Amino acid sequence: MKKRIVVMLLAGGQGSRLGVLTSNMAKPAVPFGGKYRIIDFPLSNCVNSGFDTVGVLTQYRPLALNAYLGTGQHWDLDRNYGGVFVLPPYVTEGENGQWYSGTANAIWQNREFVDQYDPDYVLILSGDHIYKMDYAKMLDFHRKKNAAATIAVLQVPWEEAHRFGIMNAGPDSVIESFEEKPKEPKSNLASMGIYIFDWKKLRSYMEADDADPNSSNDFGKNIIPAMLNSGEVMVAYPFEGYWRDVGTIQSLWEANMDLLGQKPVLDLDDDSWRIYTRNAVMPPHFVSQNAQVTNALVSEGAVVEGTVTNSVIFTGAHVQKGATVKDSIIFPNATVGKSATVEKAIVGENSVIGDFSILGGPVRPGEKVNNKLTGDITLIGNDVTIPARAYVAKGAVVNTENPHQPAKEA
Amino acid sequence: MIDNAFGLIVTGERTTRLKDLTLSRSTAAVPFGGRYRAIDFMLSNLVNAGVTSVGLVTEKNYHSLMDHLGSGKEWDLHRKREGLFILPPFMTKENSGVFRGAIDALKSVMGYVRRTSDDYVILSWPRVIMNVDLVPMMEQHLATGADVTILYAEDGSLQLEEQSQDLRLIMDERGRVTEMELDAYRPRSVNRSCDVMILKKELLEYLVEEAYARGEYDFHRDILLKKYKTLNIMGYRHEGFLARLESIESYFNGNMALLNPDVQADLFNPKHPIYTKVKDEVSARYSVSAQVKNSLVADGCIIEGQVDSCILFRGVHVKPGARIFNSIVMQGSEIGENAHLEHVILDKGVKILPGRTLQGYDSFPIVIRKNQTV
C-alpha cells in the first residue's frame, strides 16, 4: 500500500547550545510550555495535518526520546500501517555503517524506510522548533506549483536576516537563489528548515551527494544548492504565525515567556490545533492558602505554596512555602525549597533548590561566571541538588558531575 | 501482586441521591476531584494491584461511562488477552435487559464470569472514592480461608435521608462478621462496608444463580444478609481517606476534603496513581489579576479572578472580577466578569453570566445542571 507522504523528523541534534539541559537527552526531548517537550510540536503538527507516517532520526542519547515516544499512542501515531518510528544509525554487513554525517545523510541512510511506503513526497522537519503549522496546506502549495522542492519561509526582521538561510524568490514564489547566513541579505525570507521534496527527485540528488566525498551531506549546504544549480523548480512557501528556534538557552526562555500575558504571543489553548503530549498521571495542581500566583502557567501535579510571578511551572514541580519564583521556568518534578529565591532561571528536571538559596542574584565582586551560553539566565541542570542557603549568581550554570559531559562551567 | 483474580464493577444502580449530577450519567461516571470520574478510583485500585481483567456491568446511562473508558488504554487495560470488558445489558429469553438489582445484573454477565480464567473475583460498586491497596486484602482473604472478605472503614456519619446500601458489619475479635445490618435506623456498628469484596468465582456463581432462582435481586439484602451466618465472612479494614457518593452534601464534602494536603497525599499516592482519561489540555494559565488560594486547579483553566477553596476541573474559565469561594466547578464551565459564587457545584459546561450571584450553604450547596446558563 502506498502513502502519499512520509515525514522525516531530524531529531539527532545534540543541542550543545542548550548546555546542561541536553547532557542526558536529545534536544527534542527538552521540556517546553508547562507540560510538553519540544518534539510534541512537530509531531502534533503532523497528526493535525493528517500525516500519519513519521520517522524520527536520532543518534544522540536516544533513550529519553525512545522511551518518550513509545508506540506513539499519545499522538495517535500507533497505527497498523504507518505511525511513528525511531530511526537510529545502524550497521550493515560489509559496509559497517556509520553515524549520520549530515541531515541529508540521515535521510539517505534511511531510504529503505521511506521506500517501503512508496511515497510521492517526503516532508523533512527539524525537532527543535516551536510552531503550529498545517503541513497539508504546504503540500497543496507544492503540488499546485509542480515543484521539485518546497521550502517553508518566514519573514524575519531585516536586521536579523544575516543569521538565517535566506531565500531569494520571485513574485511567483520560485526560488532564484539561496544564501546561508548572508552578510548583505537580498531578502528577508528565512528558511524554517521545513522542506517538501518529490521523493524520487530527492533520492537521486541524495545518491549523487553520497557519492561526493567532499560533501558535508547537508540539505542547506549541498542538496538544495545542487537542485537549484540543475534548474529544478523550487518554491518558497510563505508561513505566517509564531515560529521560534529554541536551540539556545535565551530563545528557550523567551519562547516559554511567550506563553504568558493577557494575550499570549503563542496561545496553545486552541481546540482546532491541539498539541499532544505524553500526559503525566498526576492530580490537578494545588495552590495553598499562603500562595500567590500571577501571570503564570501551572501544570498538573504541581504544588505552589510560595509566590510565583511571570513563570512557567511544569508538571509535578513544587514551590515550597515562602519561596519566590520570578521570570523563571521550573522543569518537571523540580523543587524550590522553603524561602528560596529564584529569579530569571531555568531549573532542570528533578532538581532540588535548597531552602533559603538564592538563584540569579548579582555577580559578586571577584566572582567569575562563565555565561557564554546563558547570558543573564541562571541555568540549573537536571537532577542537581543545590544545598540550603547557596548563592548562584546570574548567568551561572550548575550541573551534576556527569561522566559523559563533565561540569565545566560549574 | 494479585495474579489470580479479576475485577467486576457493578454500575448503573438506581439512585437519585446525587440528584442533578446523575441526571444524565451513572454514579460511576460522576466527575470527582478536578479531573477524575468516580470509576477511575476503583479501576486504578484494581490495576495497581496487578489485576489485568476487569468486567464492567452497566445498565442505564452508560454512554458517558463508555466515552470515558474507551478501550481502557489509560488504565493499560487495552489488552489482547483479558483487559477491560464493558458489559451492557441485552435482551435474551431469560433476561429482559432491565435489572431489578445487582443479582439480575450479575446473572446477565455470568457468561463473562465463567469465561475468565481467574479463580477469584473482586466485586465492587464504585460509589466510594478511595485509594486502597488490594494486595494485602487478597493476602488476608487467602490466609484466613474466608468465603468472602469485605472491605470496610470506620464511618461515624449516618445519613438517614435516602439511606441506601448502608451495610454495617459487626465482627468478633478475629474480624469474622457475626452480624450484618442494612440501612439500619440506629446502626450498632461504625464499621461500614466500602462495597468491595473478594470471593471465589465459583461461590459468586453459586450465590447469584441460587438467589436468581428464588426470584431475588438485591445482592446486599438477599445474599449477604441472608447468608452471613452460614458463610465465613471476614472484614478487611481500610485505614485511608474515603468519600462516599451518597448525597450532594457527601459529594461536596468529599471533594472539599481534597484541599487537605494529607488527603491529597493519601488519595493521589504516587506509588498507586489514579489513572483517568487524558484530554490534552494546556497548562492552567493565571493572569496578572489572578488571586488563587487553597484550591485544586486542573489543566486548561484560565484564571483571571479570585478563587478560594475551590476545585476547578479542566478548562474552567474564571473571568476578571469574578469571585468564587468553596465551590466545585466542572469541566468547561465559564464564570463571567464580577460574578460571585459561594458553595455551588457547577456541572459541566455551565455558563454564569457577568455579575450573577449564587450562594448556597455548607450543608446545602446549590447544584447547577449540565450546560445551563445562569
Across chain A, which has 410 residues, the per-10-residue mean pLDDT values are: 92 67 75 94 95 88 80 88 86 74 88 94 92 96 95 91 88 88 89 94 93 88 91 94 90 94 90 91 95 96 96 97 97 96 95 94 84 89 91 87 36
Average of pLDDT values for B184-202? 91
Helix (H) or strand (E) holding A398: strand A397-398
- In this structure, what C-alpha cell is assigned to residue A235? 518554491
**Residue A40 to residue A233: CA distance in whole angstroms:** 32
What is the model's pLDDT at position B162?
66
Q: Is the per-residue pLDDT at B284 higher than 70? A: yes
What is the model's pLDDT at position A409?
39
The C-alpha angle with vertex A84 and arms to A82 and A85, in degrees rounded to 5, equals: 105
Average of pLDDT values for B134-154? 95
Task: Please say whether the beta carbons of B22 and B368 come within 8 A.
Answer: no
**Residue B122 to residue B266: CA distance in whole angstroms:** 22
ipTM of predicted assembly, 2 dp? 0.88
User: Which pLDDT band, with edges at 50, 70 and 90, does B91 fall under?
Assistant: low
Tell if the CB–CB gap between B285 and A275 is shorter than 8 Å: no
What is the model's pLDDT at position A16?
64
- Phi, psi dihedral angles at A31 (to 5 degrees): -65, 150
Average of pLDDT values for B146-168? 83
Ranges of H-type helices in B191-241: 201-213, 225-227
**Residue B100 to residue B217: CA distance in whole angstroms:** 6
What is the model's pLDDT at position B92?
62
Residues, chain A, total?
A: 410
Task: Please say whether the beta carbons of B369 and B20 come within 8 A.
Answer: yes
Average of pLDDT values for B64-68? 86
Longest dimension (CA), chain A: 68
Q: Which residues touch A294 (CB under 8 Å, ≥6 apart)? A: A308, A309, A310, B286, B287, B288, B289, B290
The C-alpha angle with vertex B236 and arms to B232 and B238, in degrees rounded to 5, equals: 160
State in Å, rounded, how far the first CA of chain A is from the last one: 54
By Cβ distance, the residue of A279, A286, A313 closest to B278 is A279
More confident call, A129 vs B362: A129
- Asked if the C-beta of A281 comes within 8 angstroms of chain B's C-beta atoms, the answer is yes
Contacts of A279 in chain B (CB under 8 A): 278, 280
Tell if the CB–CB gap between A296 and B274 is shorter than 8 Å: no
Task: Please say whether the beta carbons of A9 and A15 come within 8 A.
Answer: no
Lookup result for grid cell 449530577 = B21
What is the model's pLDDT at position A162?
86
Tell if the CB–CB gap between A296 and B285 is shorter than 8 Å: yes
What is the model's pLDDT at position B7?
95
Question: Chain A interface, mutation test: which of B299, B302, B319, most A Cβ atoms within 10 Å?
Answer: B299
**Residue B290 to residue B271: CA distance in whole angstroms:** 33
Q: Is the per-residue pLDDT at B103 higher than 80? A: yes
Q: What is the pTM of this model?
A: 0.89
What is the model's pLDDT at position A408?
37
Q: How far is A221 from chain B (nearest CA, A)?
A: 38
By Cβ distance, the residue of B264, B280, B289 closest to A283 is B264
Tell if the CB–CB gap between B34 and A260 is shorter than 8 Å: no
What is the model's pLDDT at position A79?
86
Q: Is the per-residue pLDDT at B97 higher than 70? A: no
Contacts of B45 in chain A (CB under 8 A): none
State percent of chain B over pLDDT 70: 95
What is the model's pLDDT at position A402?
36
DSSP string, A278-330: -----PPEEE-TT-EEEEEEE-TT-EE-SEEEEEEE-TT-EE-TT-EEES-EE
Q: How far is A131 from chain B (nearest CA, A)?
A: 15
Task: Please say whether the beta carbons of A149 and A34 come within 8 A.
Answer: no
Size of interface A-B (CB pairs under 8 A): 107
The C-alpha angle with vertex B270 and arms to B267 and B271, in degrees rounded to 5, equals: 100
CA A396 from centroid of its chain's CA atoms: 23
- Asked if the C-beta of A269 comes within 8 angstroms of chain B's C-beta atoms, the answer is yes
pLDDT tens for each residue of B264-276:
999 999 999 999 9
- In this structure, what C-alpha cell is assigned to residue A9? 523528523
Question: Chain B interface, mutation test: which of A300, A320, A331, A333, most B Cβ atoms within 10 Å?
Answer: A300
